[in-house]
Amino acid sequence: MADLPGIVIMGVSGRMGQMLTHTVLESGKARLVGCVERPGHPWVGQDVRAAMGGVPVGVTVTDEPIDAIAQAQAVIDFSTPAASVGIARLAAQARAVHVIGTTGFSPEDLEQIRLAARHAIVVRAGNMSLGVNLLVQLTRRVAAALDADFDIEVIEAHHRHKVDAPSGTALMLGQAAAEGRGVALDEVSERGRDGLTGARARGAIGFSAIRGGDIVGEHDVVFAGEGERIVLRHVATDRAVFARGALKAALWGQDKKPGEYDMLDVLGL
């Protein structure tokens, strides 16, 4: 047991943090050595499982990530952009693999993470599920096979609490479509348009988002031509798919060289 990699979970009381706690504790492949929440959160100082209403497991939630990360081989982090950028530096100093599921980063945030990855193993993906990463590959292939007259629309749906839009996954899909077509996403994207009104430039890549209820995550990539269209769809019904992917990434990263990786690397796609 002591040989298993020690994992710290950031943002442990969150939707993903709680799912990750179950996944790590029940995996038999890793040890839960630390749980971090923001200062002032009511879970700080409590046993993590007890805070979730279960049997204590001897891991106390802390708001001091340095001490927790010092004894860990990996940090799994689904929190906020500001928290993840701060943790990237600490994980790099501790030589712990940093698995980043957080989305909504600014270009400046991404530069900070890139700098941390010069000295550390960072696995960052806007979606950690096998199915979405396959969808990314399929999107790239379909975009490459179709001529540039096909318009590409990425449509996503999430629960009402999600703060960023379009989702990190939608942006990954748009990026894959642009790569397949051999163009830069910034040149062809119609980001921010609501998708309901107004015209698109021919061949544009557009994004639309809806928010509501408890939708875990749904993504369609629509390739719309004259007289026909293709729709690729992924529907996540259980957050466990993201948590299992994140744990897989933490274990995969243990023997890798410093650098920034994504789930396509982890899954060998």
Query: Would you name the residues annotated as active-site residues?
Result: 158, 162
For ligand NAD, the closer CB: 129 or 189: 129
Q: Is 102 annotated as a binding residue?
A: yes
Q: Name every residue whose Cβ is closer than 8 Å to that of residue 31 and which is 6 or more positions away in sequence.
A: 1, 2, 4, 5, 6, 7, 24
What is the C-alpha to C-alpha distance for residues 127 and 217, in angstroms, rounded to an integer?
10
Structural contact between residues 99 and 265, judged by C-beta atoms closer than 8 angstroms: no
- By CB under 6 A, residue 23 contacts ligand NAD: no
Helix (H, G, I), strand (E, B) or coil at 249: helix
Structure tokens at 95: 């030589």
- Binding mask 217-236 vs ligand NAD (x if CB under 6 A, - otherwise)? --------------------
- By CB under 6 A, residue 79 contacts ligand NAD: yes
- By CB under 6 A, residue 36 contacts ligand NAD: yes
Q: Is 193 annotated as a binding residue?
A: no
In terms of DSSP bridges, do strands 229-236 and 217-224 run parallel, antiparallel, or are they unpaired? Answer: antiparallel
Q: Is 126 annotated as a binding residue?
A: yes
Closest CA to 128 of 45, 1, 240: 240
H or E segment and range at residue 81 = helix 81-94
Structural contact between residues 48 and 54, judged by C-beta atoms closer than 8 angstroms: no
Number of residues that bind ligand NAD (CB under 6 A): 25
Residue from 21, 73, 80, 208 touching ligand NAD (CB under 6 A): that is 80
Q: Is 127 annotated as a binding residue?
A: yes
- Report the side by side order of strands in the sheet with 189-190: 189-190, 205-211, 151-158, 217-224, 229-236
Distance of closest approach, residue 65 Cβ to ligand NAD, in angstroms: 7
Distance of closest approach, residue 112 Cβ to ligand NAD, in angstroms: 15
- By CB under 6 A, residue 125 contacts ligand NAD: yes
Q: Which of residues 155-214 bind ligand NAD (CB under 6 A)?
A: 168
Annotated binding residues = 11-16, 37-38, 101-103, 125-128, 159, 168-169
Give contact residues for ligand NAD (rule: CB under 6 A): 10-11, 13-17, 36-38, 41, 78-80, 83, 101-104, 125-128, 168, 242
